[in-house]
Amino acid sequence: MNFDLPEDLLAIKRLAREFAEKEVKPTADADDKAHRFRRDLVQKMGELGFLGCIIPEEYGGNGQGYLAVAILCEEIARVHSSLRIIFAANTLGPGVTIYRYGTEEAKKKYLPGLVSGALIGCFAITEPNAGSDVASMTTKAIRDGDYYILNGSKMWISLAPVADIALVYAYTDPSRRAKGMSAFIVDLNSEGVTIEPIEEKLGNWASPVGAITFENVRVPGENLLGQEGQGFKICMQQLDDTRLASAAGAVGVAQACLDAAVEYANTREQFGQKVGQFQMIQDWIAQMVVEIEAARLLTYRAAFLKDKGVPSTRETSMAKLFAGETASKCADYALRIFSAYGYSEEYPVARYFRDAKYYQIVEGTSNIHKLILAQDALGYRKANRN
């Protein structure tokens, strides 16, 4: 068992760290306060090959794998969590799903743009009354000749206000419940699509979120991914991938909290000594160090298994659950160490605190992942099914 990263992945880590520090960090706080999505940074990431790690070279990617994506997500989120979301929106959501299930024409049409950052993607699962219970969605896509007529609404869709295309899940046969769900590529500039930004949210301010309404939207039949009725299976596979990006992003935010806390504890003085010399501060720092390392190893292991092509839903859920909880815990400890300064906007700790809560909710809440893992352990429903 070798825990050392090979040189090519270490090179990716160095490149991502350099990009994040030089290109993202200088304006991260200003971008966040302005709720400014940086499409130019996304395109620079595309130029560096960051968005093509799972896509083969023939469609513009580089095929470097899931562990490369995890490293990239961690390094970008360490500086600005909002920008990390593009890996789920472009790479592990629409990108991988189109590669797996799209027609050859669809692959050639969409994948190069998603990889380069020329196209911005998103995926639309959640509805006003359908969150963790994916099968309770009501959006429908009814066949009409060479088209599907799409009607319904989606809620809390990351990057919807700036996206060009969406991976949309809808029922083609509602009577069959989960077996009647299908997946589609939808051009968000199509007639009948309305997107309303959700302006007020706790964190990730530079990553826009929106509600999408579909009113008699005509979706070409060739934009169906896979076959009718495969949508639920496709959705679960997609979430298995995007959850890895969330786990890695949570590790990055947690690491940012630790970095900030250590630096502050070694400079701030109270009662005639640096606060880092107080035992209670050291207790918090020690917990952060251990749990971040554990979250990173869980995340890298899940990515490693994905690169091997073996079922890893269980391992991905473990990583997502633990990393999400770790990010929130580390943000809380960092804010306590900074005290009043952490509560202000003078330091980025307040941003880390807001952003960390996101990772307990998206891609399956912490409770959903506990359910997956508990049912697997109890033998009620095995997570890693072929």
Q: Residue by residue, what is the 3-state secondary structure of 33-92?
A: HCCCCCHHHHHHHHHCCHHHCCCCHHHCCCCCCHHHHHHHHHHHHHHCHHHHCHHHHHHH
C-beta separation of 132 from 365 below 8 A: yes
Q: What angle do CA 194, 176, 188 make, to 5 degrees?
A: 15
Tokens representing 279 are 């035992």
Give the model confidence (pLDDT) of 284-327 as tens digits.
999 999 999 999 999 999 999 999 999 999 999 999 999 999 99
In this prediction, the residues of the chain whose per-residue pLDDT falls under 50 are: none
Where helices occur in 266-365 by DSSP H, the ranges are 279-308, 313-338, 340-343, 349-358
State residue 131's pLDDT score.
79
- Which of 23, 291, 315, 363 is catalytic? The answer is 363
Closest to 113 measured CA to CA, from 167, 73, 59, 177: 59
**Model pTM score:** 0.95
- Which residues of the chain are in CATH 2.40.110.10 domains? 122-229
| Residue 98, number of CB atoms within 10 A of its CB | 25
State residue 386's pLDDT score.
60
Burial 282-299 (b: 16+ CB within 10 A, else e): eebbeebeebbeebbebb
State the CATH class of domain 7-120.
mainly alpha
State residue 383's pLDDT score.
94
Which superfamily does 232-378 belong to?
Answer: Butyryl-CoA Dehydrogenase, subunit A, domain 3 (1.20.140.10)
- 58 carries an active-site annotation: no
Burial 255-270 (b: 16+ CB within 10 A, else e): bbbbebbbebbeeeee
Record: fold of 122-229: Butyryl-CoA Dehydrogenase, subunit A; domain 2 (2.40.110)
- Name every residue whose Cβ is closer than 8 Å to that of residue 83 and which is 6 or more positions away in sequence: 24, 38, 41, 42, 45, 76, 77, 206, 207
Give the model confidence (pLDDT) of 85-107 as tens digits.
999 999 999 999 999 999 999 99
Torsion of CA 46, 48, 52, 58, to 10 degrees: 100
- Which residues of the chain are in CATH 1.10.540.10 domains? 7-120
| Residue 339, number of CB atoms within 10 A of its CB | 13
- Which residues of the chain are in CATH 1.20.140.10 domains? 232-378
